[in-house]
Amino acid sequence: MKKLSLMDNGFLMAESAQAPFHVAGLLVFKLPKGARQKPFYRKIIKKFGEMAAVTPPFNQRLQLPPFNLGLPGWIKDEGIDLAYHIRHSALPDPGTMEGLKKLVSRLHSTLLDRTRPLWEAHLIEGIKGRQFALYFKIHHACIDGVGSMNMIKAIMSTSPEAEIAASISGTSSEKDDNARRFSIGSSPLTFSAVRAFASSFACSTVVSGNRPIRTRWGWPFTFAYQ
């Protein structure tokens, strides 16, 4: 069992319903031309589940010490329920960005279940303009802001032609045993917005510029940070 650091344990101790200590990101994508929505979404969920089931910290849960004396630790969750952690939602018509913000705000307001691995991933369809979103939240005791950015970098590259093998935990290596590459197709896809939110949604990362990238899904993306 890997013990938590004093700082990470402090995040758990300080957390309350009024002050959650999870971090989150919202990514909005445009479907590739010719992609059938339902099979496309099913493949994303399936591939992400395959990765999460074998890769820390997504397959780890908290283990409290006897009599609650000492620091808690991380143990592998042998019975992880991916159907609980990976969820599929749809916005009602007309599928506006305002509706997406309201849904994500509601999803972000709830605490993570400490009897399970401390993360959730939500695929949200129904955004107008053939768009969909991925909203992901994870406890700060599992990963920090820098680690989150490294995780995103690990599943994307700066070249549409590049082949990467990176674990979703944020490391990158051609021979990483934990590597699980998303490979669903070869259609163009536009990454139309990225925002990294603090636990209160009080701030967001704002960057300008466009550049091609490649993800484990196998499609060339274009960053369009807002």
Task: Say whether pLDDT at 142 is over 60.
Answer: yes
Task: Say whether pLDDT at 192 is over 70.
Answer: no
Q: What is the Cα–Cα distance from 202 to 200, expressed in whole angstroms?
A: 5
pLDDT at 173: 36
Q: Which residue has the tokens 């938590």?
A: 4
pLDDT at 145: 74
Secondary structure class of 133 (helix, strand, coil): strand
Mean pLDDT of 106-123: 95
| Strand arrangement, sheet containing 2-3 | 2-3, 73-76, 60-63
Cβ 222 vs Cβ 210: under 8 Å: yes
Please write the tens of the pLDDT for every residue from 10-56: 999 999 999 999 988 898 988 888 888 999 899 889 888 888 888 88
Report the mean per-residue pLDDT for the chain. 74
52: tokens are 């999460």
Q: 109-113, 146-150, 177-181, 216-220 — which one is most confidently predicted on average? A: 109-113
Mean pLDDT of 100-107: 95
Q: What is the Cα–Cα distance from 112 to 138, expressed in whole angstroms?
A: 8
Task: Say whether pLDDT at 224 is over 60.
Answer: no
pLDDT at 161: 53
Domains of the chain, start order: 2-10+23-222 (3.30.559)
Which run of H or E residues covers position 205? Answer: none
Confidence of residue 156 (pLDDT cuts 50, 70, 90): low
User: Is 140 an annotated catalytic residue?
Assistant: yes
Which residue type, as a one-letter code, is found at position 189?
L
Instruction: Please give the span between the terminal C-alpha atoms of the chain, in angstroms, as a whole number.
Output: 41
Mean pLDDT of 218-226: 33
Secondary structure class of 109 (helix, strand, coil): coil
Top pLDDT among 154 and 174 is at: 154
pLDDT at 16: 93
Q: Which residue has the tokens 């074998």?
A: 54
Please write the tens of the pLDDT for every residue from 163-172: 444 444 433 3
Confidence of residue 223 (pLDDT cuts 50, 70, 90): very low
